[in-house]
Every structure is written in structure tokens, then in C-alpha cells.
Amino acid sequence: MRRLAFACALAALVLTGAASVRATGQNAVVQAAISEDSLPRTLSEYGFFAGSPDRPEPSLIRYGLRNPLFSDYAEKTRFIHLPEGAQFRVGSDGRIEFPVGTALIKSFGYRSDSGTLDTLETRVLLHRADGWIALPYVWNAERTDAVLKVAGTRIPVTFEDPSGESHSISYGVPNKNLCKQCHSRDGELSPIGPVWPDMEFERESDRERLKVQARFPKNGLYAMARWDDPTETLAERAGAYLYANCAHCHSRSGAASNSGLFYDEPVGDHPASGYLKRPVAAGRGSGSYDFIIEPGHPERSILLYRMHSLDPGVAMPEIGRATVHKEGMTLLTQWIAEMEP
Amino acid sequence: MSRMNFGWLAAASAIVIAQPLAAKTVEVSAGEGAQERLQEALILAEAGDEVVLGAGRFVLTDGLSLDIDGVTLRGAGMDETVLDFTTQQGSGEGLLVTSDNVTLRDFALENPKGDGVKSKGADNIVYHRIRVTWTGGPDANNGAYGIYPVESTGVLVSGSKVSGASDAGIYVGQSKDITVRNSIVEANVAGIEIENSRNALVENNIATRNTGGLLVFDLPNLPVMGGGNVVLRRNLVVDNDTANFAPPGNIVAGVRRGTGILVMANDGVLIEGNILENNPTAHIMVVAYSLKFDDATYNPYARNVVVGDNMFGRGGDDPQLDGKEMLLAAFGGALPPVMWDGIVESDNGLRVADGVAGWTLNLKTPGQDMATAQPGPLDVPTPDGAFALESVGAPAELESRIK
């Protein structure tokens, strides 16, 4: 009995020691949880957050995207964890080729009436020796930790969009397979967002730190227009929007490769961009219209019909959308309306 | 409930780590939490595992997906195990398979909001005794495809049954080495459709009460084109008389009610030994792709199409065609069994066996105005050699899985 008590005291001492190490700014991220072949059951096992989604480990690099994917108006916070001493390349298309041991961490939440961010879920993309793995974690009500939900779940959510309209939706946390559906390139899981020219950093020091660790391509990297920047042309903005919201599936190596509709390629007046292209396997997703984009006629363009629908057999994107992105619709409507019929 | 699931998950993870090579059987029963339990089982399965669905009705709120190679998903029978998607809230299909060497057998899907089962880039897949039903019957609001393998090499669909699809009951697209056999397609817009695919064998099926029974297409502007080398034999294609209920805009919305077999823009199709009865527009129709297209690599012609000996019953007696009365009068009350648009690329057009009657629109170029047709009796050469039958169909390994 006495021996047991002594052991407990020793454990407490060790724990106290650990806490003091953290307080001095050392990295609390558990590299083994990221790299080793296991499915950590709770988010706290990685050490990314100190007991709350708004207390990220200081070593994490926070970034944003100029053209984010629309996710039911959820607010997203994104972090990168790099393994110690990491060196990596930026591809000629601007994609960062992260080393094994990297974790990409993305949290989704909504603002409460009092303005605080209520985080619902955190998705992690872990780069392991045998490839990337995607895992979804759902925060508990107290937001002290999040638990793994490999099969996904649904959470009822009420929020206001930027125009002040209130929405009550069944928010879908994707299952592990659905993660791959979007994050698939040639059948392999891979990150989507971190494309260097599209990334923004909260701390300039993070940008500098990444630059030191990265090798950049010889070609200049092309930054797309910001989809919501009114000083850019409609075509540039529409292209950027379609890239951010559709190209992860609608590419020759993505989940919608069989559609013949590709938004990772330059958008123009050709069938692969939807221009006078007939539907292939749309079924009732066609909405009785003949073309994905009918120039001059947004009201008859299947692209907008599917973006406007919330019906699972019709809606695009197929997953992760239970509200209409009004601002995106407005942009694409205007773009198609101004095309020469 | 969620805590219980979680315990199960942890236990399964432990097994995964301890015995990575031992194939196992995981049983999933209907009842509360079926969505999460079944999806978890499909995610945590390992190659060689069998996920067994109990008898009963699985009420599901989201599409399911399987992304592990070599898994068998087996139910207690197509009438005993039902995956019910009537209250589905997300995903474009009921079940999505994206891994190779998967076997799906002995269960049903009802009322998926989009497609029934889609397998994409899933090589060597077997669908055996799968039923997909939209229980309200033909309706433009039903999902497009019941059984939908696409971009795959090695596809076997056998003993399956689809009804109510607003596009095609069984649709194989952009694939090769395909067998669709012993299946029933009823009350769909298209019964079975082979699209932009090669080396397909469609045999011993029943296609009835569809708008069109069996369709073989090649369409432009797709990553995989050049469809052909297709054999349609020993199928029962009867009473395909349902009014077309496809949402307009889709290619099948143009299929005329009462079409038995339709070949459009394909290279090498053999139609032989089928029984065709009461297909009021045409038992067999062979045509070029007639819409405008912008794709230099696409061939819109029907080439090397052979109609061998088939049994033709009543048909062509109520065609959904312009000038119907005039046509019926000219042909003595019913159109002959084979209808051709007359459009040839060169000397590689249609051939029909001795004694098979037909008629032609005598058109010259794809997209030519139908009003300029000059209908007349069919006069084409007879088949000039044996069709390479050994080159069609799914690999033998797929057959061995269902023996």
C-alpha cells in the first residue's frame, strides 16, 4: 500500500515535470501518435491542443487560404505540424510536398451568439511512412477533448450566415472514407489546401520559417485571383472558385474523373469546363437542362442548378454541403450571364 | 450508444494490430445505430475479410462506402437484407466502392437518393444477387443508376435485379472486361446500358417494362471513349413499353419508348440469339450519335454491328416516331424488327443475317435532320466472319467467386 502511494507520488512528480517543460515552450506534440501505425482514439493523444481548441500548441503553424472550400459557412482554423528538422519541396504547381511525420490539422466551428467560436470537429491528415491517413475527431460538449469518429456522425447546428439569415442544419462530420473521396489523387490520399501561392499566414515568422525549410521550383508560382475580390475579372474569380470548390473531385485524377468535367485545368469555352457540355451520369441532377454551362443562361445551366440544390441526389459538391453558398452562386450566375450566348 | 460503438471500435483496432493477416468475419445486424456500426465495419475491414449483414431492414441516413481491397460484403438474401435509404441525407449514392477485388452479394438497396451502388476505379468487382429498387415505381425523381460500375477493369454482375432507375438499371461505363448475366431489369428508363466500354458480354438477362431494354453507347468528351467489342446474346427483351421518365438533358431521355436493343456509336457489336417480343418502336435500333459535339477524338458512327439470328415476335407496331401512321401503312401495319439510320463511316456499317428484315432511314451524316429521311427496306450485307467471342466478358477469377 505504501509502495503504491509512493508510485503515485512519483507519477505526479513526473507529470508536474512534463507540465513545466511545456511551460518553457518546448514542443508538446507527440510525434509517435502522428507517425506510428495506430488510430489514436482521442485528439489529446497528439498534443496539438492544450485542453481546448483555442489553445493550439505554439509550434503549430497556423495558415489560411485565399480561396477556401465552402463548408456550410463553418469557420475553419488550419495548422501544420512539421517533424523536427523537416526539409521539403514545393512542386511546380505550388503544392507543398510534405515530409513523412507531417500533420495537417483543420478545425470546423460556428460563432455563438456571444461571438465565441464553438468548435465542432477537428480533422487530421497524417503523413505516415505508407502514405497519408485522414481521421475525424468530434469535440465533447465541454470542448476539453475530441474523440475519433471513423464512421462520421451528424450534429444539429444553428447559425447565421454573413447576410444574417439563420440556418438550422444537420452538419455532417465525414467518415474516414469520405475524407478520401475528396482527398484522392490517382487513388492515393493527399492534401488539398496547402498550395503555396494560395496560403496566408497569421504570423509572418511562420512564412519565413517554411521558406527556410522549403526548396522552391524554378518556375514562378502563379497565384489565382481571390474569388471574392471585386477588382478581379469575373472569369478569373469564377475559375478560382471552381478550383477551390470542385477541382479536388473534378480532375482527371480525382473522384469525378469519369465526368469529363475538369476544374483543375484552365477554365474556358470548352467542354471540359462545362461550356456547352452535356451531362453524362447526372440523372435527375441535370434538372432537365441540356448543358453544364449554357452561355448567357445561368437559369438553364446544370452547374448552378446543382449548386443550388440541397437534395443529396442532385447537390454538388456531393458531400459536406447542407446550405447553399449564396455568394458563390451570385458570382457564377453573373459570370455565366455575361457570357456570349 | 456511441460509447458502446466506441468500445467495439477499440476492440476491432486491437484485432487489426494483433492479426494483420488473418481474414475474419464481421457480423453487422440491423437496428439502432446501423449507420455507424455498418460504416465502421466497412472502414475497419482488412483485405480478405467478410462483412456479413444480418437479415432485416437497415435504416440509413447517409451513403456508405468501402475502400478496402478484397472485402466481401454479404447479406442474407436480396429479399432478406435491405439497406433502406429512404431517409438518406447525404452522398450521391447508397454504397460507393473504390477498392479492387470486392464482392457484393445477397442484399438489397431501396430508394437511394442518387445512384444505388457505384463502384469507381474498382477493378475485378462482383455484384451477385444484388437488388436495387425504387419502391414507388418509375419516377423522374428516382436515382439515375441502380448498379453503376465505372472506370473499372473486370466487372461481373450476376443474378441481380434493378427496377425504377431514372437512367439505367445496370450501367457499366468507361470500363472493360465485363459480364452482365442472369439479371432482371424492369421498369427503368434503360434496362442495361454499356457505355464507353469494351469487351462486354451481356447474356441471359430479362429486360422488361423499361423504356429501352439493352443499350450500347459511346459518348463524346469523356476520358474513356472508343467503346465496342460487345456481345448481346440469349437475352429476353420483352414488353419494353414504359414511357420515358428520364429527366430531360440526359442522353437516355432521347430513347424512344418501346426500344428493345439500341446501339449508338460503337465499334463491333454482336446481337445474337435474343428473344424480342412486344417492343413497340423497334426490336433493334442501330444509329449514329446525332447531337453536335466538340471532340476531335470521338467517332460518332455505329461500326461493325452484326445482327445475327434472333427470335422476333410482335413489335414495331406502335412506334414513337414522327410519321408513325405513314410508316405503319407503308410497312403493312408493323415496322420490320431492325431499324437503322443508314449512316455509315465507310464500308464498316451494319450487317444482318440472312432472312432478318429491317428498314432504314437512309440518312447520310450524323446529325442530319430526321425530316430528310427517306425510309425504305433494309439492304445490307450478311456477316462476313466469326466474331471474336473469346475476347469479351469478365475474367474467370470473378466467376469462380460465386460458384
Which single residue is written with the C-alpha cell 457484393? Answer: B104
* pLDDT score for A142: 94
Do residues A254 and A248 touch, judged by C-beta distance below 8 A?
yes
| More reliable by pLDDT, A229 or B223 | A229
Over the stretch A71-81, which tens digit does the pLDDT of each residue have?
A: 999 999 999 99
Task: Give one DSSP letter per residue of B368-401, joined into a string.
Answer: --GGG---EE---PPP-S---GGG-S--HHHHHH
A296 contacts chain B (CB < 8 A) = no
As a whole number, mean pLDDT of residues B231-252 equals 95
| Residue A20, C-beta contacts closer than 8 angstroms, at least 6 positions apart | none
* CA nearest to A173, candidates A142, A124, A136: A136
Chain B CB within 8 Å of residue A338 CB: no
Compute the average pLDDT of residues A82-98. Answer: 92
Q: Are residues B168 and B227 in the same domain?
A: yes
User: Is there a contact between B88 and A312 if contact means CB atoms under 8 Å apart?
Assistant: yes
Distance between CA atoms of A282 and B219, rounded to whole angstroms? 14
Q: Residue B19: what pLDDT?
A: 44
Give me the mean pLDDT over the A271-280 stretch.
Answer: 93
Domain edge (last residue) among B123, B156, B176: B123
| C-alpha cell read off for B88 | 438518406
User: B151 and B38 share a domain?
Assistant: no
Q: For A98-112, A174-188, B55-69, B113-127, which range has the lowest pLDDT when averaged over its residues? A: A174-188
Domain that holds residue B313: 147-395
For A15-68, what is each residue's pLDDT tens digit?
444 443 344 446 799 999 999 999 999 999 999 999 999 999 999 999 999 999
- Co-location of B186 and B82 in the same domain: no
What is the dihedral sign for C-alpha A61, A65, A70, A74? positive
Per-residue pLDDT at B389:
66
Per domain, the residue ranges of chain A are: 27-215, 234-337
**A20 has a chain B CB within 8 A of its CB:** no
- At B126, the amino acid letter reads V
Lowest mean pLDDT segment, chosen from A331-340, B20-29, B72-81, B293-302: B20-29
Dihedral, B45, B46, B50, B54 alpha carbons, nearest 10: -10
Grid cell 437534395 is found at A311
Q: Binning pLDDT at 50, 70 and 90, where does residue A146 land?
A: very high
Question: Could you tell me if B311 and B233 are in contact, meaning their C-beta atoms sit under 8 angstroms apart?
Answer: no
When comparing pLDDT for B262 and A20, which is higher?
Answer: B262
Domain total for chain B? 2
Check whether A109 has a pLDDT greater than 80. yes
* Range A7-18 average pLDDT: 43
**Least CB-CB distance to A258: which of B44, B151, B250?**
B151
Tell me which chain B residue has its CA closest to the CA of residue A152.
Answer: B36
Same domain, B243 and B314: yes
Check CB contact of A234 with chain B, cutoff 8 Å.
no
Same domain, B103 and B181: no
Pair (B189, B111) in one structural domain = no
Of A118-127, B5-14, B387-396, give the lowest mean pLDDT range: B5-14
Decide if pLDDT at B13 tops 50: no
B288 domain residue, yes or no: yes
B95 and B206 belong to one structural domain: no
Residue pairs between chains A and B whose CB atoms are closer than 8 Å? 162
Using pLDDT thresholds of 50, 70 and 90, give the confidence band for residue B378: very high
Q: Do B92 and A312 touch (CB under 8 A)?
A: yes
For the beta carbon of residue B139, count every other beta carbon within 10 angstroms: 11
pLDDT tens figures, B275-325 = 999 999 999 999 999 999 989 999 999 999 999 999 999 999 999 999 999
- B117 plus B169 within the same structural domain: no
| pTM, full prediction | 0.87
What band does B146 get if pLDDT is binned at 50, 70 and 90? very high
- pLDDT of res. A4: 46
Mean pLDDT (whole number) for A231-244: 96
Mean pLDDT of chain B: 92
- In this prediction, residue B235 carries a pLDDT of 98
B152: nearest CA in chain A? A258
Prediction ipTM score: 0.81
> What is the rounded average pLDDT for all residues in chain A?
89
Nearest to A74 by CA among A123, A40, A41: A123
B62 touches chain A (CB under 8 A): yes
Does residue B138 form part of some domain? no
Instruction: Kindly state the average pLDDT of the residues B267-277.
Output: 97
Rounded CA-CA distance A140/B130 in Å is 40
Which of B15, B40, B61, B62 to mutate: most A Cβ within 10 Å? Answer: B62
Better pLDDT: A316 or B16:
A316
DSSP, collapsed to helix, strand or coil, labels residue B16 as: helix
Residue B68 shares a structural domain with residue B169: no
In a domain, B73, yes or no: yes
**What pLDDT does B18 receive?**
44
Q: Are B178 and B89 found together in one domain? A: no
Q: In Å, how far is A290's CA from the nearest CA of chain B?
A: 4
How many other C-beta atoms can be found within 10 angstroms of the C-beta atom of residue A309? 17
**Nearest CB to B167; choose among A147, A255, A283:** A283
pLDDT above 50: residue A5 = no
User: Of B123, B157, B172, which residue is a domain's last?
Assistant: B123
Going by C-alpha positions, the residue among A230, A253, A247, A227 that lies closest to residue A238 is A227
Predicted local confidence at residue B21, as pLDDT: 58
Confidence of residue A144 (pLDDT cuts 50, 70, 90): very high
Whether B17 and A38 lie within 8 Å, measured CB to CB: yes
Over pLDDT 70: what percentage of chain B? 94
Is the pLDDT score of B2 beyond 70? no
Q: Is residue B129 included in any domain, yes or no?
A: no
Q: Residue written as cell 469546363? A: A273
- B271-300 residues touching A, CB cutoff 8 A: 291, 294-295
| Mean pLDDT, range B136-151, rounded to an integer | 96
Bridge partners (DSSP) listed for residue B159: none
Cβ distance B247 to A255 less than 8 Å, yes or no, reads: no
- Whether B114 sits inside 8 A of A312 (CB atoms) is yes
Domain co-membership, B115 together with B72? yes
- Same domain as B73, residue B162: no
